[in-house]
Amino acid sequence: MAFFDKSPICVILIGQDLSRLLSRVMAGTSSLLTIDDVLSLVRAGPEARDLIGRAYEFALQSHEGQYRKSGEPYIQHALAVAALLGELRMDAETVAAGLLHDVVEDRGVSLEELEARFGPEVARMVDGVTKLTRANDLGRIREGERDERELESLRKFFLATARDARVMLIKLADRLHNMRTLDALAPERQRRIARQTMDIYAPLANRLGIWQWKGELEDLAFRALQPELYGEIAAELEARAPEREADIERHIAILRHHLRLEGINAHITGRPKHIYSIYRKMQRKQIPLERVYDIRAIRAIVDTVPDCYHVLGVVHNLWTPIPGEFDDYIARPKENMYQSLHTAVVGIGGKVLEVQIRTHYMHRIAEYGIAAHWRYKEGAREDRLLAEKIAALRAQIEARSETEDAGEFVEAVQTDIFEDRVYVFTPKGMVVDLPAGATPIDFAYAIHTEIGHRCRGAKVNGRWVPLDYVLKTGDQVEIITAKRGGPSRDWLNPALGYVKTARARNKIRQWFRRQDREQNIASGRAILERELKRLGLGELSHEAVAALFGYEKVEDFLAAVGFGDIHSQQIATKVVEAQHQTSPEPELPPPAPIPAPVSHEVHVLGTGGLLTRLARCCHPLPDEPIIGYVTQGHGITVHRRDCPNILNLRHPERLIEVTWGTAKQTFPVLVSVTAYDRTGLLHDISGVLAKEGVNIAGVTIGRQQNLVTLYLTLEVTDIAQLDRVLARISKVPNVVEAHRQTR
């Protein structure tokens, strides 16, 4: 853990009791945790402490002779998990379950024995954690390899957590300590676990509002997945640390003085910034490190909400606010209960400073999230808002249990619950919370199922938009409905981007399932024939395609296509994979030889691409010999190796080896587009291709009366991209059909 532990932006755990234990919980230290260390974090009576002590003795006996890859006794992992839960001030049952979380999976202890010894509550939590541990490889979910046993284990875990959210907290503590000790594992396993953490556990910590764990999980995963890029950002931060810390202290002193003059009691501190958060901001805004405004950041914690806005006024009077960099999460809290005021200002010496302002209550919620619920229960004064949030999370997960397919259920939880959110408004001002990427159709189904079914158009901020428009926070959405009718099957096609949320997809499928079976079979047959023709495989029998999906009766398969259980992109992928396995020809054979495309995009390997720029002195071109120079504040500048500035360099220790990246392989494929001729037709089709990043290598145009046929040679990366492109071109106004030419 050497580099991360030395990093100046390493996560600072809140909680004075744990500060003296932190170095002992982290891997690579000589001092070992004891049960007394855990008990020192638990504020409970004799009975609760006795439960934790008995759990420790049982775990110690169960794990006797078992060692981790790092060489330390396995009981140290159980103690570390319990200490993390104790720092959150979780109840005694949760801490005991943390000590016992691996005895069923690793040591073969039965749940019946746990229940007899420690009660049903502890046994139920251990069972919930064990179910997720048995999901072998979560990282494959996003890569499309759907292991049904793995997905079913995930479904059981999420449903278990819906009944008791403490199961999530135990698993998060388990994963956090595993990530801290990741260096003991083989590199490939490190990357796999890091990908799981980034896909599942960090979003889960964020959804539960436990920011201190979320940030550390992301940083540790980022370091394992992109160590070079992580090192670059951390090195630049560390190089500037003394200057940055002095700047922060000066700003704190000035703000503290002026708040005292205003009679405001405030606790002001510097705020550490996580490396992955910095990376995300640089990537999202395409900016260098020095333009990330919240690297210099302070936090003011006050007594009341009016004090928050009073402090904001003082800050804006002292320093110039930066337009567009103010967020009011007090008036509009995040879904994970986070509340605070955020502003960025130009401070002393023109340095940009971020200021966060919140109350003590908001600070506790920001640090502990959903875990704060149990902190309040200890004092017999349960927080109503927190209880409502837990109930809402439970309802969201349980609502998705309606789907029969485990893969769809897990995808729904990931999409609808863990992903970033957007907040949009109805015409009457009601706020609707949706996952990022949601469309007007998702909005309509979020309002009411019937509004979704009868949706025919949408206005955003008073202007007409297409139904695949991606909503942004602050948009006001008005849905235009028909008096009767139902959804379109095209809405279920992921290539067209009409629907993002699992709720909307499930409601659309339910509508089609209620239709007459013969009608669904007819619709399924039309969809299949259209897809096969689009791919140039019209001679393939329906029976052969049904067999690829495991259906014995073609009518059952067509019905499944008709009511949306199988969509056209799945058909395209299955059919082309089968064709590829039975034919020695390449997946997308070129219809005619065309020259290899020249890539104008420059990517420098070994640096992540984000912190690099081409030197203006020598203007290196692709394939020329190059060398990198590590600058202060501008990342890595790429020069030609014969550049005079490099040959006469005063600091050769800053040179770093770099190479040009390789262009992504593409395959030429001929497609034909038949349409009624109109002005701007080719422009609109080109726009679709540009949005997908597809190059047009050749165009031939044929005319017949008022119809025009465009023969386009497209350079695509795979069959999925080709299918998306053809589906989107088919939706361009005046286009009759678009399909692949194979002859």
CATH number, domain with residue 315? 3.30.460.10
Q: Note whether residue 313 is domain-resident.
A: yes
φ/ψ of residue 615, rounded to 5: -65, 140
User: What distance in Å separates the CA atoms of residue 107 and residue 123, rounded to the nearest whole number?
Assistant: 15
pLDDT (average), residues 508-533 = 81
Tell me: pLDDT of 441 over 90.
yes
What is the rounded distance in angstroms from the CA atom of residue 154 to the CA atom of residue 131?
7
Highest mean pLDDT among 386-400, 404-418, 438-452, 693-707: 438-452
Give pLDDT, residue 600: 38
Average pLDDT of the chain, as a whole number: 77
Q: Calculate mean pLDDT across residues 26-48.
A: 75
Is the pLDDT at 406 greater than 70? The verdict is no
Give the range among 510-514, 660-664, 728-732 with minimum mean pLDDT. 660-664
Mean pLDDT for 205-213 is: 79
Q: Select the more confidently predicted residue: 363 or 743.
A: 363
Whole-number pLDDT of residue 370: 64
pLDDT beyond 50 at 135 = no
Domain boundary among 225, 253, 272: 225
- CA–CA distance, 100 with 98 (Å, rounded to integer): 5
pLDDT at 408 over 60: no
pLDDT tens readout for residues 245-289: 888 999 999 999 999 999 999 999 987 778 888 888 777 767 777
Residue 150 has pLDDT above 70, yes or no: no
Higher pLDDT, 491 or 147: 491
636: helix, strand or coil: strand
Q: Are residues 176 and 324 in the same domain?
A: no
Integer Cα distance of 133 and 128 in angstroms: 9
Based on the fold, state whether residues 187 and 53 are members of the same structural domain. yes
Contacts 24+ apart (CB under 8 A), 288-292: 288/611, 288/633, 288/634, 288/635, 289/233, 289/236, 289/237, 289/611, 289/633, 289/635, 290/633, 290/634, 291/352
Asked if residue 547 and residue 477 are part of one domain, the reply reads no
Please give the full DSSP string across 663-704, using - where no structure is assigned: PPP-EEEEEEEEEE--TTHHHHHHHHHHHHT-EEEEEEEEEE
Domain edge (last residue) among 638, 660, 682: 660
Q: Let me know if residue 123 belongs to a domain.
A: yes
pLDDT at residue 264, as a whole number: 93
Q: Is the pLDDT of residue 346 over 60?
A: yes
Instruction: Name the pLDDT band for 361 (thresholds 50, 70, 90).
Output: confident
User: Taking 70 as the threshold, does the pLDDT of residue 621 lie above it?
Assistant: no
Residues 367 and 14: their CA atoms lie apart, in Å, by 7
Average pLDDT over residues 444-469: 91
Cα 472-475-476 angle, rounded to 5 deg: 155
- The 3-class secondary structure across 492-561, one letter per residue, is HCHHHCCCCCHHHHHHHHHHHHCCCHHHHHHHHHHHHHHHHHHCCCCCCCHHHHHHHCCCCCHHHHHHHH
Instruction: Quote the number of domains for the chain.
Output: 6
Counting residues of the chain whose pLDDT is more than 90, the rounded percentage is: 19
Identify whether residues 432 and 498 lie together within a single domain.
yes
Q: 701: which strand partners?
A: 710
Q: Cα(684)–Cα(673) distance, rounded to whole angstroms?
A: 12
- 547-603 pLDDT per residue, tens: 888 788 888 888 888 877 787 777 877 776 676 555 544 344 444 343 343 343 444
Is 307 known to be catalytic? no
- How much is the pLDDT for 378? 45
* pLDDT surpassing 50 at residue 395: yes
Length reported for the chain: 743
Known active-site residue 404: no
The type of residue at 699 is V
- For residue 665, how many C-alpha atoms fall within 13 Å in the half-sphere facing its CB? 5
Question: What is the pLDDT, as a whole number, of residue 332?
Answer: 81
Instruction: Give 329 or 519, the one with higher predicted confidence.
Output: 329
Burial of 613-639, coded b for 16+ CB within 10 Å and e otherwise, reads: ebbeebebeeeeebbbbbeeeebbbbb
Q: What is the CATH number of the domain that holds 676?
A: 3.30.70.260
Tokens 């953490």 sit on residue: 197
Rounded to whole angstroms, the Cα distance separating 738 from 722 reads 11
For residue 177, the model assigns a pLDDT of 93
- Reference 340, options 288, 378, 297, 375; nearest CA is 297
Provide the pLDDT for residue 716.
84
Q: Say yes or no: 258 and 112 in one domain.
A: no
**Band of the pLDDT at 139, cuts 50, 70, 90?**
very low
Domain identity same for 638 and 523:
no
Q: Is 327 exposed, middle or buried (0-12, 13-18, 19+ CB in 10 A)?
A: middle
d(Cα 207, Cα 295) in Å, to the nearest integer?
24
Quote the CA–CA distance of 480 and 171 in Å, as a whole number.
45
At 25, the pLDDT band (50, 70, 90 cuts) reads: very low
Q: What single string gives the DSSP state of each residue in 47-108?
A: HHHHHHHHHHHHHHHHTTT-B-TTSSBTHHHHHHHHHHHHHTT--HHHHHHHHHTTHHHHH-
| Same domain as 565, residue 608 | no
pLDDT at 419 over 60: no
Distance in angstroms (rounded) separating the CA atoms of residues 45 and 426: 50
CB contact set of 284 (below 8 Å; sequence gap of 6+): none
Residue 644 lies in a domain: yes
Sign of the CA dihedral running 245, 247, 251, 254: positive
Percent of the chain with pLDDT over 70: 76
Domain-located, residue 541:
yes
pLDDT of 521 above 90: no
81 and 17 inside one domain: yes
What pLDDT score does 252 carry?
93
Q: Is the pLDDT of residue 112 over 70?
A: yes
Query: Could you tell me the pLDDT band of residue 396, with boundaries at 50, 70 and 90?
Result: low
Query: Does residue 392 lie in a domain region?
Result: no
How far is residue 308's CA from residue 296's CA, in Å, rounded to a whole number? 20
Does residue 716 sit in helix, strand or coil? strand
Span 713-720, mean pLDDT?
Answer: 82
Whether 576 maps to a domain, the answer reads: yes
Tally of CB atoms within 10 A around 691: 11
Q: Do residues 37 and 156 both lie within one domain? A: yes
In this predicted structure, what is the pLDDT of residue 28? 41
**Any residues with CB less than 8 A from the CB of 128 and at least 6 apart, and which?**
157, 160, 161, 163, 164, 167, 170, 171
Residue 59 CB-half CA count within 13 A: 29
pLDDT on residue 588? 40
Q: Which of 511, 537, 555 is the last residue of a domain?
A: 511
Q: Where in the sequence is the domain holding 123, given as residue range(s)?
A: 2-225
Mean pLDDT of 604-618: 60
CATH number of the CATH domain containing 42: 1.10.3210.10
pLDDT single digits (tens) 1-14 = 333 333 333 333 33
Same domain flag for 203 and 341? no
Q: Is the domain of 181 the same as that of 284?
A: no
Q: Which of 5, 50, 64, 105 is catalytic?
A: 105
- 114 and 167 in a common domain: yes
Confidence (pLDDT) at 221: 93
Q: Is the pLDDT of residue 92 over 50?
A: yes
Q: What is the mean pLDDT of residues 668-696?
A: 87
Q: In this model, does residue 186 exceed pLDDT 50?
A: yes
pLDDT at 598: 39
Q: How confident is the model at residue 241 (pLDDT cuts 50, 70, 90)?
A: confident
User: H helices within 181-303, ranges in order?
Assistant: 187-196, 202-207, 211-225, 227-239, 241-261, 275-285
Model confidence over 636-665: pLDDT tens digits? Answer: 788 888 787 777 776 676 777 777 765 567
587: phi then psi, degrees, rounded to nearest 5: -60, -40
Q: Tell me, yes or no, whether 389 lies in a domain.
A: no
State the catalytic residue, choosing from 17, 106, 328, 677: 106
* Enclosing H/E stretch for 659: strand 659-660
Q: What are the beta bridge partners of residue 300? A: 268, 357
- Residues 602-628 have a mean pLDDT of 64
Q: What pLDDT is attached to residue 137?
A: 41
In a domain, 587, yes or no: no
